């Protein structure tokens, strides 16, 4: 029963962070975001919800795999780094969509990218499959970083 509770909590943490962040930014999508210049390769708005939900589920599974490993300094470091990247993940949406600070959001997402890669390396020391579960996340955030840059340049 403890493992099930840990698994559900590990899923709930990133899904909640993403959900709360999305809740605070959803009004900007049909408003401010619609009015700014975007590159022609900008994905349609409906893509973002399913992609982020999938990524948060993968993050939760990876966190569970790390959390259930024996307590070591590497495990603790991996969990701290994961928490730090989740915090940056939460704030990017607020900076971009609520503050409309596209340049600051670019700096923030670059920092988040570094923390995601660092988390992946830390996860790899504890549980290799957990690190691999972050691969779609870093690919998507790499794309989002390029998109953020393009939007910043256009606006």
Map tokens 């607020």 to a residue: 94
CATH number of the domain where residue 123 is located: 1.20.1260.100
Question: Does 129 fall in a domain?
Answer: yes
Question: Does 43 fall in a domain?
Answer: no
Question: Does 25 fall in a domain?
Answer: yes
**Average pLDDT along the chain, 155 residues, taken 10 residues at a time:** 94 97 90 96 95 98 98 98 98 96 98 98 98 98 98 98
* Maximal C-alpha separation, the chain: 52
- The tally of domains found in the chain comes to 1
What is the pTM for the complete model shown?
Answer: 0.95
Confidence (pLDDT) at 1: 86
Question: Does 45 fall in a domain?
Answer: no
Please measure the distance between the N-terminal and C-terminal CA atoms of the chain and give it in whole angstroms: 52
Question: Does 17 fall in a domain?
Answer: yes
Cβ-based neighbour number of residue 62 at 10 Å: 25
Question: Does 44 fall in a domain?
Answer: no
What is the residue range of 63's domain? 2-37+50-154
């Amino acid at each position: 029963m403890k493992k099930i509770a840990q698994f559900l909590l590990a899923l709930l943490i990133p899904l909640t962070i993403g959900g709360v962040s999305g809740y605070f930014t959803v009004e900007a999508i049909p408003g401010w975001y619609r009015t700014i210049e975007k590159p022609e390769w900008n994905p349609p708005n409906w893509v973002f919800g399913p992609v982020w939900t999938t990524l948060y589920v993968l993050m939760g599974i990876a966190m569970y795999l790390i959390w259930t490993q024996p307590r070591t300094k590497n495990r603790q470091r991996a969990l701290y780094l994961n928490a730090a990247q989740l915090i940056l993940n939460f704030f990017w949406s607020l900076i971009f969509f609520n503050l409309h600070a596209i340049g600051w959001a670019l700096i923030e997402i670059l920092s988040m990218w570094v923390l995601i890669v660092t988390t992946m390396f830390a996860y790899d020391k504890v549980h290799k499959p957990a690190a691999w579960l972050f691969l779609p996340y870093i690919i998507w955030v790499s794309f989002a970083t390029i998109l953020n840059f393009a939007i910043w340049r256009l606006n």
